[in-house]
Amino acid sequence: MTAEPEPATTAAIAVPHTGHEAPSSAVERAVHNYLRHVTVERGLSANTVAAYRRDLALYAHWLAEEGITDPAAVTSNHVSDFVRHLGTREEEPLKASSIARVLSSVRGWHRFLLDEGTTETDAAHETKPPKLGSRLPKAITIEQVEALLDATRGDEVQQLRDHALLELLYATGARVSEAVDLNVDDVIDREVVRLLGKGGKQRIVPVGSFARAAIDAYLVRARPVLSRRGTATPALFLGLRGQRVSRQNAWLIIRAAAARAGLDVEVSPHTLRHSFATHLLAGGADVRVVQELLGHSSVATTQIYTLVTADTLRDMYTSAHPRAR
């Protein structure tokens, strides 16, 4: 399980060169060069590079099955056929959102090939991603959030850690990658946390009293116990062996809490982020403030949450007003 958008299936796919074996074709060498470019020259995060690697592994595998081993031999028709293949293949066809993400990786690779002079044309330039339906963020109610948080309460080491993690995610709207990447020193004066977002952008987010109490209890009563089980690390949230909690572990922690709470909706780390934004706006917070708290570069992204709030108000109006129906 991951906190990122639905990953493309890469089972039985030869992953492009990662440094352990030599790329066997011109396509694989070009993929390797591109991954090195986005890592070293563009400084993209490890998670982003890993997503590119998965997407381009899928593409390289498909090209190999089509008998194409030279990037210069790829045409726009090939790219269009690949996009159709992703949505119609027998084994786990991808949703439109995942196809769009894979195509974005493919288009970036082809632009790189053109810029580097490896190819004379950009084969993916005119290929359009499938149309995405208007999908509103999925938030849960305040009562459901409280049930989720209550499901992690307890005095055991693991319960203290899980409760602190979930309280912090809901209190700050942090992405799961931002939360697990936190170090102890990123909790500043107990009042705020320093989050490192996409593109290396840093932001300071207040921490409410409930999250502060949960983090304090974890730091005093649980983290020292976990820390003794592994090597020294500045990580805030530690696993049972003393290592930094991974994104996958965070997903499992939240899923387990949702199951114990008896929630009949799918809950992920991003659900808490969506709920954070939706509940703030419903409580009267300014959309620009919520934008800053979420770390959105554009207010248009944050304004999606205002549609969720408007939908809720419309439903309440329809059910409560005598002349609404």
* Residues 6 or more apart whose Cβ sits within 8 Å of residue 102: 8, 55, 58, 59, 86, 94
- Are 299 and 288 a contacting pair, CB within 8 Å? yes
293 exposure class (CB count in 10 Å sphere: 0-12, 13-18, 19+): buried
Compute the distance between CA of residue 316 and CA of residue 306 in angstroms, rounded to an integer: 15
Q: Can you tell me the distance from the alpha carbon of 228 to that of 5, in angstroms, rounded to the nearest whole number?
A: 35
Q: Annotated catalytic sites, by residue?
A: 175, 198, 270, 273, 296, 305
Answer for the pair 38, 44: CB distance below 8 angstroms, yes or no.
yes
- With H, G, I as helix, E, B as strand and everything else as coil, classify residue 280: helix
Residue 198: which of 169, 173, 183, 177 has the closest Cα? 177
DSSP per-residue string spanning 114-132: HHTTS-SS-TTTTPPPPPP
- CA dist 172 and 192 (Å) reads 9
Whether the CB-CB separation of 122 and 111 falls below 8 Å is answered with: yes
Alpha carbon 229 to its chain centroid, in Å, reads 29
Q: Which residues of 41-75 are buried (b: 16+ CB within 10 A; e: fewer)?
A: eeebbebbbebbbbbbbbbbbbbbeeebeebeebe
